[in-house]
Amino acid sequence: MVHLLRLVGARALCARRAGSPLLPPPTRAISQQAQRQMDTLRPKVREFVERTVRMCQPAEVHVCDGSEAENANLLNQMAESGVLEPLTKYDNCWLARTDPADVARVESKTFIVTEEKRETVPIPRKGRKGMLGNWMSPKALEHAVAERFPGCMRGRTLYVVPFSMGPVGSPLSKIGIELTDSPYVAASMRIMTRMGSKVLETLGDDDFVKCLHSVGRPVPVSKKPINNWPCNPENTIIAHVPSKNEIISFGSGYGGNSLLGKKCFALRIGSTIARREGWLAEHMLILGITNPAGHKRYIAAAFPSACGKTNLAMLQPSLPGYKVECVGDDIAWMKFDDKGVLRAINPENGFFGVAPGTSSATNPIAMKTIFSNTLFTNVAKTGDGGVYWEGLEKEVDTSVGIVDWHGDPWTTGSGAPSSHPNSRFCAPAAQCPIIDPQWESPEGVPISAILFGGRRPLGVPLSGQVGSTLSLSPARFGAADIPDTAAGARGGAASAGHLAASLEGSAPIGPVASDTPPVASAGGGMRALLGLALRVALTGRCSSAVPQTCAARRPLTMTARAPSAVRHLTQQEATAVDQELFNEYQFSVDQLMELAGLSCATAVARHYPPARAAPPPRVLVVCGPGNNGGDGLVCARHLRLFGFAPTVLYPVQKEVPLYSRLAHQCRRDGVQVLDAPPADVADFQIMVDALFGFSFRPPVRDTLAPALRLLAEAKVPVCSVDVPSGWHVENGPDGPEALRPALLVSLTAPKVCAKHFSGAHYLGGRFVPTALAEKYDMRLPEYPGTDCVVRLDGAGDPAA
C-alpha cells in the first residue's frame, strides 16, 4: 500500500500543478498532540500513517490504545453527533441507524487485485457472467484510489487501529493496522478484535496487514447524511491486494465493508496468507462438545452467512448430560501442529450476529450475551430504551411503543419489518456464558471433525459425507454439487452459489498426520445437524470409502477416534505384558482368547457390515497352530453370530484340549473346519489372517506355507489378527510373500510393526487392566460406549 500511496501522491502532485481538482488544498496541519502520537509509532507503522495523512488530509490523528476511557470517549462523541443512541434499558448498549443504502456487504463492489485475472477468478465463456468473485487490475485500483482518497478525510479524525486476529502473541495469530476516519469502526474493532497498545508492543518492527478505510465524506458535507450516517454508496469499493497483504475500503460504514479485520482480513487476505504458509482460513464456527462421561471434542462447521452458525455455536443440547461450549461463531484459522494435530483458533474477539430471528427460543445463549457492552445496528428501538426485531414478539412488550430502523413509528400492523433483515449486534465474545475455557488458548483447540452446510433447497440430503480427511479435494467436489441460496450480502457475483464456496480458502496444506478429521456435509434441520456433530465428534468417525452425499445410501457408521499418541509395543514388551496378564492378573489363556477373538470379529463386522437383504458374506478364517489360531477360531464363531458365513482353514490342528474345544464349538455351530483350502476359495469375500502371532520366527513350515501363500495372493480384503503373518514384529513386512492386509486388528496394544501398516487399523484391548496399561505407558485410547474395539488410523468405517 505504501507503493500505491506513493503513486497516488505523485499523480496528485502533478494534478495540482496542472490546476486539477484531483487533490484539494490541504486543511490545517494536524495538532501537536497528534504528531506526538505518531512519533511514538515504530517506523513501518509510522510510514503507513504518515503517507495516509498526506493523501487523505485528516484534521487529527488518534492512535487507539483500546482502553475503557478511550472507548467511552468514542461512544459519547458518536452520541453527540447523532450516529449512536444510548439504549438505557441495558448496560452500555448503543443503537446505530445507517443510511438505507449502506446496510450489507456489497459483493458487486468487492474486488481481488492481481496481475492476471485467472489468478483470482475462473474466466467464463463469452457472454456468461462469472459467479466466483470480481477481479481488478493493479492499474485500475491505482486509478480508483486516486479518484477517491485524496482529501477524503478532511475535517475528520484518522484513527490508527492496531489489532490482532487471534490471541495476542499466539503463533497462529496475525496483526493488522486499520486506518479509518470512522469512530464507529474504531469502537466496533475494539469489540471484534484484540485492539490496542499491547498489539503494537507485540508487533514491534514486524510486517503487518495494511488496512485503509474511509467513509468517503469529507467535512463539511454538501448535504446532511441520512440518520447522521456518513457514507458514499455511489463510490463504494472494497479491494484486496493479496500479494501485498493490503485492504482498501471506501464509501461504506457497514461492518462487513469497514471492519477490515472481519471478512476482508480473516477470510480473503487470510486465505491467501494461509495458502502461502500452509494452513487454512475458513468461514467456520468452532465449538466444543462434552458427553456425559466428560469426554470433550471440538468440531468446526462451515455455513454461509445468516445460516445458523451463531445458533449452532451457542447451542444448548437437549440430550441429558451433554454440554456445548463456544470457541467462535464465524471464522476459524486452522493449522497442524508439530505433532500432526489440527488446531484452530477463533481470530475474532466478538460476535457480529444477525439480529432478526434471534430470541430466547432460538438462541437463549446469545440473548444472555448481547445486553451489555453491545453495538446494535439497524434494529428497532422500544419506548423504554430497549431493542426489538422480528422474532421477539413473545418477549417484548410492544405497547411501550416502537421506532423502526428508519426512525419512524412502527406497529405490528405496519406491513413492513421493524428491523432490517441484515441488522446486527456486535458483542464481546468474553460475555458469552458458554464461552469455552480454551477460546483464547494460544496453541488453539484440537479439531476432531469438520461439517459443511447451507440453506437446504428441495432435494438436498439432510446429511452425508463429502470427504474423509483434510485433503479437501473430495469435500470441495462434493460440496460443489450442492446448491445454496443467497445471504444478506447485496447483489453481485457471489450472492448465490454452491456449498463449495465455503471452501474458498482451502488449499493443499502440506504433510498431515494420518489422524485427520473427517469432513461431512449437512443441510437444514438443526437437530439432525447436532446429532451428526455429536456422533462424529464424540462417538465416531464418518465413513471414508466414497464421497457420500445421498441419504439413500447406507447410513453413516461411526467408531471412536483414538489419539495418535497411542504407544506401540516391542516384541519383548508384548511378551512381558502377556506374562503379567497370565501370572499377576490370573487371566486364563482361553479367557484372553475369547476376548481377542470377539474383538477381531467385531472389527470385521464394523468394517465390512453385512447387508440385511443379501446372502451372508463368506469369510475364510485361516488359523495357525498357536494362540493366534485360537483367536481365529473364536473370531469365526462370533462372525457367524454377526451374520457372516465363515469357514475355517486349519491346516495344522494340534491335539491340545483348548484348541480342540474351540474347533468343536465352531463345528457345533455350523462352521466348517477344513485342513486344506476349499475348492471354491475364489468365492469368499473376506479372509481373516490368524496364522502367526508376534512370537513367530521364520522360516515358515512346509505345512503352513500354502496357507500363507493363499493369504498373500488373495484378491479379496484380508484382515490380520494382531500382526500380519510373515511380518517381523518390529521391522514389518519381511520376505517375498509378506502380506498386504487391508485391515489390521491389534490386540492389547499395537506392536511396532503396525507403524509400517497403512490400511484400516483397529485395536481390541479393552480388557487390559488400567494399572498394567500405566506401567507400560501404553496410552490406550478411549473406547466408545460399551464397544470392545476402537479405530486407530484416524479414518471412519467405510461404506459397505
C-alpha dist (Å) from residue 192 to 185, 317, 429, 559: 10, 27, 8, 38
**Least confident span in 293-302, 651-660, 736-745:** 736-745
Mean pLDDT of 97-119: 92
Which of 307, 326, 432, 753 is flagged as catalytic? 307
Cell 453481485: give the residue.
492
Query: Looking up cell 500511496, which residue turns up?
Result: 5
pLDDT at 227 over 80: yes
Q: Which residue has the higher pLDDT, 179 or 739?
A: 179
Please give the pLDDT value at position 623.
Answer: 96
Per the model's pLDDT, the better-predicted residue between 275 and 483 turns out to be: 275
Residues 6+ apart with CB under 8 A from 793: 514, 515, 759, 760, 761
Q: Cα-flanking dihedrals φ and ψ of residue 194, to 5°?
A: -85, 110
User: Is 346 one of the annotated binding-site residues?
Assistant: no
Is 627 annotated as ligand-binding? yes
Whether 135 and 111 have beta carbons less than 8 Å apart is answered as yes
For the question of residue 307 being annotated catalytic, the response is yes
Q: Are 353 and 329 a contacting pair, CB within 8 Å?
A: yes
796 or 348: which leads in pLDDT: 348
Cβ neighbours for 431, distance < 8 A, ≥ 6 positions apart: 369, 370, 372, 373
| Residue whose entry in the numeric block shows the C-alpha cell 480473503 | 268
* DSSP secondary structure letter of residue 502: G
Q: Which amino acid is at 10?
A: A
Residue with more model confidence, 739 or 14: 739
Residue 24 pLDDT greater than 70, yes or no: no
Query: Rounded to an integer, what distance in angstroms lies between the CA atom of residue 184 and that of residue 493?
Result: 28
- The predicted pLDDT at position 690 comes to 95
Average pLDDT over residues 117-142: 85
- Which amino acid is residue 167, in one-letter code? P
Q: Is 206 annotated as a binding residue?
A: no
Lookup: cell for 508: 493443499
Query: 430: helix, coil or strand?
Result: helix
Q: Describe the chain by its helix, strand, coil percentages, rounded to 5.
A: 30, 20, 50
794 or 164, greater pLDDT: 164
Which one of 259-268, 285-294, 478-487, 790-799 scores highest in mean pLDDT?
Answer: 259-268
Q: Is the dihedral of CA 355, 360, 362, 364 positive or negative?
A: positive
pLDDT the model gives residue 99 = 96
What pLDDT does residue 297 have?
92
E strands in 255-329: 280-282, 284-290, 296-302, 323-328
Nearest 5°: the CA angle 132, 510, 119 is: 30
pLDDT at 188 over 70: yes
The alpha carbon of residue 261 and the mean position of all alpha carbons in its chain are separated, in whole angstroms, by 18
Instruction: Average the pLDDT over 269-277 and give the result.
Output: 95
**Cβ atoms < 10 Å from Cβ of 126:** 5
Ligand-binding annotation for 699, yes or no, is: yes
561 assigned to a ligand binding site: no
pLDDT cut 90: percent of the chain above it: 60
Q: Is 492 annotated as a binding residue?
A: no
Torsional class of 460: left (φ above 0), alpha (ψ -120 to 50), beta (otherwise): beta
Lowest mean pLDDT among 47-56, 118-127, 350-359, 587-596: 118-127
Neighbours of 28 (CB within 10 A): 8
pLDDT at 761 over 90: yes
Quick check: helix, strand or coil at residue 68?
Answer: helix
E strand or H helix at 312, and its extent?
helix 309-313
With cut-offs at 50, 70 and 90, classify the pLDDT of residue 274.
very high
Nearest Cα residue to 366 out of 406, 411, 415, 330 = 330
Check whether 752 has a pLDDT greater than 80: yes
Chain centroid to CA 249: 28
Contact 306, 290 (CB under 8 A): no
- 694 marked among binding-site residues: yes
pLDDT band, very low/low/confident/very high, at 522 (cuts 50, 70, 90): low
Tell whether residue 725 is among the known ligand binding residues.
yes
pLDDT number for residue 467: 47
Q: Is the pLDDT of residue 726 over 60?
A: yes
| Beta carbons of 673 and 658 less than 8 angstroms apart | no
- Say whether 693 counts as a known binding-site residue: yes
- Cβ atoms of 369 and 431 closer than 8 Å: yes
Check whether 651 has a pLDDT greater than 60.
yes
pLDDT of residue 788: 92
In this predicted structure, which of 107-116, 217-226, 282-291, 521-530 has the lowest mean pLDDT?
A: 521-530
Q: How confident is the model at residue 21 (pLDDT cuts 50, 70, 90)?
A: very low
Pull the grid cell for residue 78. Answer: 458518536
Per-residue confidence band for 605, with pLDDT thresholds at 50, 70 and 90:
very high
Strand partners, 211: 178, 247
pLDDT band at 288 (very low <50, low <70, confident <90, very high): very high
- 505 pLDDT above the threshold of 80: no
Write out pLDDT tens, residues 693-724: 877 766 778 888 899 989 988 889 999 999 99
Q: How far apart are CA 445 and CA 531, in angstroms?
A: 21
Better-predicted residue by pLDDT, 771 or 528: 771
Other CB atoms within a 10 A radius of the CB of residue 40 amount to 11
Three-state SS string over 205-263 comes to CCCCEEEEEECCCCCCCCCCCHHHCCCCHHHCEEEEEHHHCEEEEECCCCHHHHCCHHH
String of DSSP letters for 599-665: HHHHHHHHHSPPPSSSPPPEEEEEE-SSHHHHHHHHHHHHHHHTT-EEEEE-SS----HHHHHHHHH
What domains sit in the chain, N to C, each tagged with a CATH number?
2-63+97-277 (3.40.449.10), 85-95+347-438 (2.170.8.10), 281-340+443-539 (3.90.228.20), 571-791 (3.40.50.10260)
Is a pLDDT exceeding 70 seen at residue 559? no
pLDDT tens-digit map of 234-245: 999 999 999 999
Categorize the per-residue pLDDT at 13 as very low, low, confident or very high, splitting at 50, 70 and 90: very low
Strand partners, 238: 110, 249
Q: For position 548, what pLDDT does the model report?
A: 32
Residue 22 has a pLDDT of 33
Confidence of residue 490 (pLDDT cuts 50, 70, 90): low
Counting Cα atoms < 13 Å in the Cβ hemisphere of 355 gives 28
User: Tell me, what's the pLDDT at 516?
Assistant: 60
2: Cβ contacts below 8 Å, ≥ 6 apart: 47, 48, 51, 210
Instruction: Flag the least confident range among 464-473, 641-650, 679-688.
Output: 464-473
Do the annotations mark residue 336 as ligand-binding? Answer: no
Q: Is 629 annotated as a binding-site member?
A: yes
**Confidence check: pLDDT of 349 > 80:** yes
Mean pLDDT along residues 640-646: 95
CB 623, CB 632: distance < 8 Å? yes
- Residue 443 C-alpha cell reads as 496453541
628 belongs to an annotated ligand binding site: yes
Residue 616 marked as a ligand binder: no
pLDDT score recorded for residue 577: 92
Look at residue 341 and tell me whether its pLDDT is greater than 70: yes
| Cis omega (within 30 of 0) for bond into 699 | yes
Question: Mean pLDDT throughout 659-663?
Answer: 95
Please choose, from the candidates 664, 708, 666, the residue with its C-alpha nearest in 3D space to the C-alpha of residue 687.
708
SS (H, E, C) 750-784: CEHHHHHCCCEEEEECCCCCHHHHHHCCCCCCCCC
What is the rounded CA–CA span in Å between residue 191 and residue 328? Answer: 14
Confidence of residue 547 (pLDDT cuts 50, 70, 90): very low
Of 125-134, 160-169, 240-249, 626-635, minimum mean pLDDT range = 125-134
| Strand-pair category, 157-165 with 174-180 | antiparallel
Predicted pLDDT of residue 517? 65
Query: What span, in angstroms and rounded, lies between the C-alpha atoms of 160 and 204?
Result: 15
Q: What is the CA radius of gyration of the chain?
A: 32
DSSP per residue over 111-127, as a string? EEE-SSGGGTS--PPTT
Q: Is the pLDDT of residue 360 over 60?
A: yes
> Considering the chain, what is the average pLDDT of its residues?
84
- Kind of pairing between the strands at 618-623 and 645-649: parallel
484 annotated binding-site participant: no
Return the pLDDT at 520.
56
Q: How many CB atoms are closer than 10 A to CB 203? A: 19
610 is in an annotated binding site: no
Contact 94, 375 (CB under 8 A): yes
pLDDT at 560 over 70: no
Q: pLDDT band for position 464 (50/70/90)?
A: low
Which range, of 3-17, 385-399, 601-615, 654-668, averages the lowest pLDDT? 3-17
- What integer is the mean pLDDT of 93-121? 93
pLDDT of residue 2: 52
Taking alpha carbons only, the member of 205, 235, 63 closest to residue 145 is: 235
Higher pLDDT, 289 or 308: 289
> What are the residues facing 174 on neighbouring strands?
165
Structure confidence by residue, pLDDT tens digits, 25-72:
444 467 787 788 888 899 999 999 999 999 999 999 999 999 999 999
**What are the cell numbers at 442?**
494460544
| Amino acid letter, residue 282 | E
